[in-house]
A and B are shown apart, each in its own frame.
Chain A
Amino acid sequence: MHWEFVIPGYIIVLGGIALYGGLLIRRGRRLAEQLPPERRRFLD
Chain B
Amino acid sequence: MGRAQSSSEADVSPSASASADAATPASRAQRLSTSSRLTRVLGIAGLLLLGIMLAFGLWFSGPEIAMRDSVRLLYIHVPSVFVAYLCFGVTFLGSVQYLRNQSSFWDLMAHAAAEIGVLFVVFVLVTGSLWGKPTWGTYWQWDPRLTSTSMMLLMYVGYLALRRLDLPGEVRSQRAAVLGIVSILNVIVVHYSVKWWRSLHQSQTFGIDTQMDGLMLFSFFLGVIAFLAIGAWLLVHRFRVGWMESQLDEIRLEHALVERRNEGRAYPREDDLLQVRPGES
Contact = CB atoms under 8 A, between A and B. Distances in A.
B86 interface: no
15 contacts: A1-B134, A2-B134, A5-B73, A6-B73, A9-B76, A9-B131, A10-B76, A12-B126, A25-B34, A25-B237, A29-B32, A32-B34, A32-B244, A42-B243, A43-B29
B179 to A, nearest CB: 23
A35 B34 CA distance: 12
Interface stretch (B10-18, B160-168, B214-222): B10-18
Contact of A28 (B68, B240, B278): B240
Nearest to B17: A25
B276 interface: yes
Interface stretch (B140-148, B200-208, B245-253, B256-264): B245-253
Interface of B: 1, 3-4, 7-8, 10-11, 13-15, 18, 28-37, 50, 54, 58, 63, 67-70, 72-73, 76-77, 80, 119, 122-123, 126-127, 130-131, 133-134, 230, 233-234, 237-238, 240-241, 243-245, 247-248, 251, 276, 278-281
A28 B4 CA distance: 26
A37 B8 CA distance: 33
- B interface secondary structure, majority: helix
B224 to A, nearest CB: 14
Contacts of A8: 130
B35 A25 contact: yes
Contacts, number: 156
A-B interface, 4 closest residue pairs, ranked by CB to CB distance from nearest: A28-B34, A2-B70, A31-B244, A1-B68
Contacts of A9: 73, 76-77, 126-127, 130-131
B241 A31 contact: yes
B115 to A, nearest CB: 9
A7 B3 contact: yes
